[in-house]
Amino acid sequence: MPKALVVGDLHLRGDGDPRPARALAALLAREPDATVVFAGDALDLAAEPVSAAGAAARRTLGSAPELSAAIAERASRGVRTVFVAGNHDAEVARDATTHAIRDALKLTVSDREHVLTAPWFHQLAGGAVHVEHGHVFDPDGAPTHPLSPVARDDVGIAILRRFIVPVEGHFLVAHNAEAPLPLLMRVLRTYGPRAPWVIGLYMKTAIGTWLSSGDAYPIEGDRAEGARRLEQYAAQVGLDHETLALLLEAHATPTRAHRTATFLRLYLDRVIATTAVLSGTTMSAAGLAVGASAPVMAGVPLAAVGALALSASILAGANRYRGRAERALAVGAERAADITGARTVVLGHVHVDASGPRYRNTASFAFAPGHPYLVVEEDGTVERGYAVATP
């Protein structure tokens, strides 16, 4: 097997920053014969203004002509490119999306077989290196089932599609480890006069996401559909059914499967408390301005209750989920190594350069300095590389 370059979290988007794609195209020119494996979130399909995944893929690849040309040229020489699904491009391995990717790259009939997609994972060096996105181990990003025919939006993707895309706040994807409320504050600082509309849209999105969680989230049906596809997938990837079943047991249960967990993860307690403080303060100020006692009597207790609730929530932890995803992926990688026998499990998702005894994280090619990636040698050795020299 030739050397492979594993690229994580490129987050290519139709109207995004073109520099990461150009840096990657230049890297591929320097490594003309290396297999390329995108470890999820290569195409930020969820961030595109078009809802159909195929159309989003065409738009995304059309925005990066140098990279698209590089992938197509490599395919013409039999050099493989593999797109592994992440939570931002969960539909990348659907037949329609795969066809759209190949069409966007303008591949000939014979070249199409060298551009592949994978709904769950890809293995290198004869199974010594196991590559996947890693969102399956993170409750906030976990799918209902990696082989489910329907890709359900996780908590973050629901906010991305219905809030960040409409307010054009795509820069927030680089801050995916932050809590939703700080992310909201970033948008408010950016959009100033549009703040009331932004607040209203966030509240609508967050409450809608919460209401569609718990019993309304069809996890059991999706898992049943995924289980029916497991035998066929086992044959495709060369692992037995029992191994895949054990991998599934190591996956996290999606946050949206539980309504209380979703409420807390969206920090709706703090959003509601903040709204109460602002509303109560506004009512009191208005009452004092016109000399009316009723608004003051209603506003003061409302603001006080909101302030107490907000203080209690913040004292419990300014970001009560800080580091949770990183820890979950580190544990999940070791578990996946135990199950598959891989020497190294390569994940992405959390945008950080993390590692463990048998774990390496790609970090984000798009957002980290120097555009980091991982090099997998023929013997399964994994090393860090940078597309651009860092000072």
Strands 4-7, 372-376: pairing kind: antiparallel
- 85, 94 in Cβ contact below 8 A? no
* Residue where the block lists tokens 């350069």: 353
Distance, CA of 184 to chain centre:
18
Nearest C-alpha neighbor of 40 from the set 71, 72, 10, 79: 10
Distance CA 309, CA 316 (A): 11
> Measuring CA to CA, how many Å separate 156 from each of 46, 143, 183, 326?
10, 12, 11, 16
Residue extents of the structural domains in the chain = 4-150+323-386
Single-letter code of the amino acid located at 54? G
The confidence score (pLDDT) of residue 160 equals 87
Nearest C-alpha neighbor of 85 from the set 36, 148, 43: 43
Q: For residue range 1-56, what is the model confidence (pLDDT) as tens digits? A: 579 999 999 999 998 899 999 999 999 999 999 999 999 999 999 999 988 999 99
Single-letter code of the amino acid located at 314? I
Query: Looking at the chain, how many residues does it have?
Result: 391
User: Residue-wise pLDDT tens for the chain (391 aa)?
Assistant: 579 999 999 999 998 899 999 999 999 999 999 999 999 999 999 999 988 999 999 999 999 999 999 999 999 999 999 999 999 999 999 999 999 999 999 999 999 999 999 999 999 999 999 999 999 999 999 999 999 999 999 998 998 899 888 887 776 655 555 555 565 666 667 777 777 777 778 788 888 999 999 999 999 999 999 999 999 999 999 999 999 999 999 999 999 999 999 988 887 766 665 665 455 555 666 666 767 776 546 554 544 444 444 334 434 444 556 789 999 999 999 999 999 999 999 999 999 999 999 999 999 999 999 999 999 999 999 999 999 976 5
Q: For residue range 111-157, what is the model confidence (pLDDT) as tens digits? A: 999 999 999 999 999 999 999 999 999 999 999 999 999 999 999 89
Sheet with 344-347, side-by-side order of all strands: 121-124, 129-132, 344-347, 359-361, 355-356
HSE-CB for 348 with a 13 A CA cutoff: 33
The confidence score (pLDDT) of residue 272 equals 64
The confidence score (pLDDT) of residue 325 equals 92
Distance CA 129, CA 87 (A): 21
In sequence order, the 6+-apart residues with CB closer than 8 A to the CB of 91 are: 45, 53, 85, 97, 151
Nearest C-alpha neighbor of 340 from the set 380, 373, 386, 377: 380
Distance CA 222, CA 211 (A): 19
CATH topology of domain 4-150+323-386: Purple Acid Phosphatase; chain A, domain 2 (3.60.21)
Task: Identify the helix (H) or strand (E) that includes residue 373.
Answer: strand 372-376
225, with CB counted inside 10 A (0-12, 13-18, 19+), is middle
Single-letter code of the amino acid located at 154? D
The 3-state secondary structure of 14-74, one letter per residue: CCCCCHHHHHHHHHHHHCCCCEEEEECCCECHHHCCCCCHHHHHHHHHHCCHHHHHHHHHH
Distance CA 232, CA 219 (A): 21
The confidence score (pLDDT) of residue 2 equals 76
User: Residue 237's CB: how many other CB atoms inside 10 A?
Assistant: 15
- The SS3 assignment for 356 reads strand
Nearest C-alpha neighbor of 146 from the set 222, 62, 260, 242: 222
The confidence score (pLDDT) of residue 184 equals 61
The confidence score (pLDDT) of residue 55 equals 95
Task: Tell me the two tokens of residue 149.
Answer: 């025919």
Got the DSSP string for 85-109?
--STTTTTTSHHHHHHHHHHTT--T
Backbone Cα Rg of the chain: 23
Strands 121-124, 115-118: pairing kind: unpaired
